[in-house]
Homo-oligomer: A and B are copies of this chain.
């Protein structure tokens, strides 16, 4: 440690909100060069190397081949795919000395598609999966959270080329399974979450989310293995019937323009009421959308149905003949389209606005009292809703996206004319998949899941070192030779050892050891050494063990080796 370049900080850096950001800075593992640009100092780089090694191992296991394409990608390729214009300001662009334009690759669908074009010619050569681990560039509007959302970051990106949908499905499933193993082997508790595919496109995709309170994504999940982004989750929301005997009854509800107030007035759960939202669809249609009273209209789902819609302004409500707080399905003004959530289809007694100020209906029944134009999935699923797989109550959590698998289909191969000859000699576009892992973000996610008030607590699998030897006396006739001998023994036992040989007080050494978070600390005090004993502290649990000096190597080997990735 007297030689190691790991400048630790005593104080929390002001700009760091997230634990991973704060602790990686404090532990001397990363440093900022500019907004969203970080250097990985030696300790962090050792952990990155371990993560990369797990990735390589799993990729080799499924027959993916590692290679490397340039970071500079010619604008021509981005024009072919249409993304030069579509990508927006996140794509970093540069001109060379001859004025030729390039993008700094944020992802490499174009480059890989162009690479295999005319070189993978026959279905016999398929499927083929190629990957690389490389710096990627995205000019984020607001880079933040340290390694979590940088402008230059390390990403493993893989691309599969298949002749058939079945083959693509198989590549996709293999990658997905490998990604689950990679997260686990890196010490991350992650859930595979069905997600939208976003910028990259494609039709089927899963994100692996490391659960963490600091995560940007909102998830629902179940112990059965189901997990979904709340924006994308679909389940049958249970609904209770409203008050009354099923007869349509108009009730005076003066000033009760909120779900909460209406539920309280009737002495009924909010779920027994119906929430009506008035909006204008992209095509100008006036729409009333109705969901169970205790759920929210999901913006993404609504967007898919209504395009770029907006909730009605007061003026638009007036024009449409609707009354804020008292909207409902019965007696809707003409020209208003009624769209109701699927979960309400079976419900026969709705409590809802009466389309008249200060009045609600109870006992409203679809088909009898009003006609529904369309039943659709409209709600945001939330904790407590039944799991769509097993029916148990869903839990909610926040997550960090560490990796994602996509089925791209022929999006890029068609746009770029990348084809192969099938069994009949007919040229067909490749069916492609793409698969990304945020390597640097994975490092940050590990820290988010493995830290406490004293610092980082690395799992063995990605720890920069496995053991730290902490002699409490330096240049001591007794302790120093013992420490050096022990380091030799541990190294000989193939353990990765860091020796704190600095002339610092024990308090400083203990604090730095806990901050840097090597999984096992071997503490050598004068008295212990005189008695032939070391104290071993497990960083994560804080447990301390008195171990005879000549057994330390075997004691640690027993614990460390099985915990390796």
Contacts and interface: CB of A to CB of B under 8 A. Distances in A.
A111 B39 contact: yes
A269 B63 CA distance: 69
Contacts of A3: 63, 65, 128
A261 interface: no
Nearest to A4: B65
A70 B111 contact: no
A491 to B, nearest CB: 12
Contact of A5 (B71, B130, B141): B130
A94 B97 contact: no
A41 interface: yes
Nearest to A90: B97
Interface string A93-137: 110110010101000000100111001100011001010001101
Contacts of A41: 67
A56 to B, nearest CB: 9
Contact of A68 (B2, B45, B97): B45
Contacts of A120: 5, 7
A120 to B, nearest CB: 8
B130 A70 contact: no
A73 interface: yes
A277 interface: no
A70 B152 contact: yes
Contacts of A135: 70-71, 134-135
Nearest to A77: B33
Contacts of A125: 2
A69 interface: yes
Contacts of A68: 39-40, 45, 48
Nearest to A48: B68
Contacts of A38: 70
B37 A115 contact: no
Contact of A42 (B65, B100, B139): B65
Nearest to A70: B37
A74 interface: yes
A548 to B, nearest CB: 31
A92 interface: yes
A63 B4 CA distance: 9
B94 A92 contact: yes
Contacts of A128: 3, 5
Given A7-B119, A135-B135, A70 B39 contact: yes
A37 to B, nearest CB: 4
A68 B96 CA distance: 25
A224 interface: no
A225 interface: no
Contact of A97 (B65, B115, B139): B139
A31 B115 contact: yes
Given A65-B42, A66-B45, A104-B94, A33 B89 contact: no
A152 B71 contact: yes
Nearest to A153: B70
Interface string A32-59: 0110011111101100100000000000
A72 interface: yes
A176 B42 CA distance: 22
A33 B69 contact: yes
A441 interface: no
A57 to B, nearest CB: 14
Contacts of A100: 34
A382 interface: no
Interface string A392-434: 0000000000000000000000000000000000000000000
A151 interface: yes
A40 B63 CA distance: 18
Most buried by B among A37, A42, A68, A119: A68
A247 B141 CA distance: 85
B115 A39 contact: yes
Interface string A380-399: 00000000000000000000
Contact of A40 (B42, B67, B111): B67
A65 B41 CA distance: 9
Contact of A72 (B65, B111, B152): B152
Contacts of A90: 97
Interface in A133-150: 134-135, 137, 139, 141
A328 to B, nearest CB: 47
B94 A94 contact: yes
A151 B34 contact: no
24 contacts: A2-B125, A3-B63, A3-B65, A5-B128, A5-B130, A7-B120, A33-B114, A33-B115, A34-B70, A34-B74, A37-B74, A38-B70, A41-B67, A42-B65, A42-B67, A44-B67, A45-B68, A48-B68, A89-B97, A93-B94, A94-B104, A97-B139, A104-B104, A134-B135
Closest 4 CB pairs of A and B: A37-B70, A7-B119, A42-B65, A39-B69
